[in-house]
Amino acid sequence: MPRYAVTGVTGHFGRHVVEELLSRGVPADDVVAVVRTPGKATELVERGVQVREGDYSRPETLPAALVDVQRLLLVSGTEVGQRVAQHTAVIEAAKANGAERIAYTSVLRADTTTNPVAGDHRGTEEALRTSGVPFTVLRNCWYTEVYTAQLSQYLERGEILGAAGTGKVSAAPRADYAAAAATALLDDAAGDVVYELGGPGFSMEELATTVSQVSGTKVVYRDLPSDDYAVALEAAGFDAGAAAFVAAIDTAIASGDLETDSDDLPRLLGRPVTPLADAIRNAMAA
């Protein structure tokens, strides 16, 4: 049986993937959790998972972290702008250790999208291609949690503000993408594979309607021109750069760049994607 490594396990996504691997019968000893801060993963050590230190920004930590790993899931990091160099260091260390497959969490249509987060993902996909190691690219659309994390604000204000127009987002819960990632990692695929992953698309107006239905509190969507939305974000405390970035994401949504009709996600899951209403209900219960 191959040995699997997952990075970012102290974060939400990586942790879900490790739980999926264990629940599907992969022996704990064959699961390597690569973490920047091992102290955050003591519970996994107690369960027999191999926890190894690996910091994307300290390449010297990576070769030992990836010894004897055949299949790696590289979970994209959080430091936007630094990630191509960071991820390339992980890919090189995996390759030097003889990895047979590297899976990577990218973004929907990374090669063509106007989504402003895509640059680092494009660069990492290029590094994967250059490495020559067989790869699986998991091009995840938005997590539903991007929206459900703001539920209390939506309910408090009675509105969702944005500049996404009637554009739809094929979001899905993080746990669905993670379950799909585990399936892709366990799959004895040959060659390079690219998945476009997302759930049924919803517009911001449909999001507001679903929040209203599930919560019983009326929430409406108010669409603004992109520049006005950036100004509103600044007024709410965003710095100018972050406000422009978030407004640019909505412009990408308005142009359809966060919508997909691909069925890759339900196919990998072997079931329909968790409906938006259920995700909102779960978030309200949490």
Ligand X SMILES: NC(=O)c1ccc[n+]([C@@H]2O[C@H](COP(=O)([O-])OP(=O)(O)OC[C@H]3O[C@@H](n4cnc5c(N)ncnc54)[C@H](OP(=O)(O)O)[C@@H]3O)[C@@H](O)[C@H]2O)c1
Residue 139 touching ligand X (CB under 6 A): no
Residue 12 touching ligand X (CB under 6 A): yes
Q: State in angstroms the smallest separation of the CB of 77 from ligand X.
A: 4
When binding is defined by CB under 6 A, the residue of 88, 97, 105, 106 that contacts ligand X is: 105
Contact region for ligand X (CB under 6 A) — 49-57, 128-136, 147-155, 221-229? 49-57
57 vs 79: CA distance, rounded Å: 10
Q: 224 CB contacts (<8 Å, ≥6 apart)?
A: 161, 162, 163, 232
Q: Which is nearer to ligand X, 34 or 214 (CB)?
A: 34
Q: For residue 174, with 0-12 CB atoms within 10 Å meaning exposed, 13-18 middle and 19 or more buried, which class applies?
A: buried
Residue 42 touching ligand X (CB under 6 A): no
Helix 226-235, helix 240-254: angle, nearest 10: 140
Contact region for ligand X (CB under 6 A) — 11-19, 25-33, 208-216, 222-230? 11-19
Q: State in angstroms the smallest separation of the CB of 243 from ligand X.
A: 18
50 vs 40: CA distance, rounded Å: 13
When binding is defined by CB under 6 A, the residue of 32, 33, 36, 51 that contacts ligand X is: 36
When binding is defined by CB under 6 A, the residue of 4, 5, 6, 10 that contacts ligand X is: 10
Residues in the interface with ligand X (CB under 6 A) total: 25
Q: 16 CB contacts (<8 Å, ≥6 apart)?
A: 174, 175, 178, 179
Site mask for ligand X (CB under 6 A), range 147-186, x = bound: ---------------------------x------------
Q: For residue 247, with 0-12 CB atoms within 10 Å meaning exposed, 13-18 middle and 19 or more buried, which class applies?
A: buried
Element (H, E) at 174: helix 174-186
Q: Which is nearer to ligand X, 79 or 239 (CB)?
A: 79
| No. of helices (H) and no. of strands (E), the chain | 13, 11
Q: Which is nearer to ligand X, 116 or 220 (CB)?
A: 116
125 vs 123: CA distance, rounded Å: 5
Residue 64 touching ligand X (CB under 6 A): no
Residue 86 touching ligand X (CB under 6 A): yes
Q: State in angstroms the smallest separation of the CB of 86 from ligand X.
A: 6
Q: State in angstroms the smallest separation of the CB of 146 from ligand X.
A: 5
Q: State in angstroms the smallest separation of the CB of 190 from ligand X.
A: 27
CB 166 within 8 A of CB 224: no
Q: For residue 173, with 0-12 CB atoms within 10 Å meaning exposed, 13-18 middle and 19 or more buried, which class applies?
A: buried
134 vs 152: CA distance, rounded Å: 43
Q: For residue 147, with 0-12 CB atoms within 10 Å meaning exposed, 13-18 middle and 19 or more buried, which class applies?
A: buried
When binding is defined by CB under 6 A, the residue of 4, 13, 135, 202 that contacts ligand X is: 13
Contact region for ligand X (CB under 6 A) — 5-13, 131-139, 229-237, 254-262? 5-13
Contact residues: ligand X, CB under 6 A: 7-8, 10-14, 36-37, 40, 55-57, 75-79, 86, 105, 140, 142-143, 146, 174
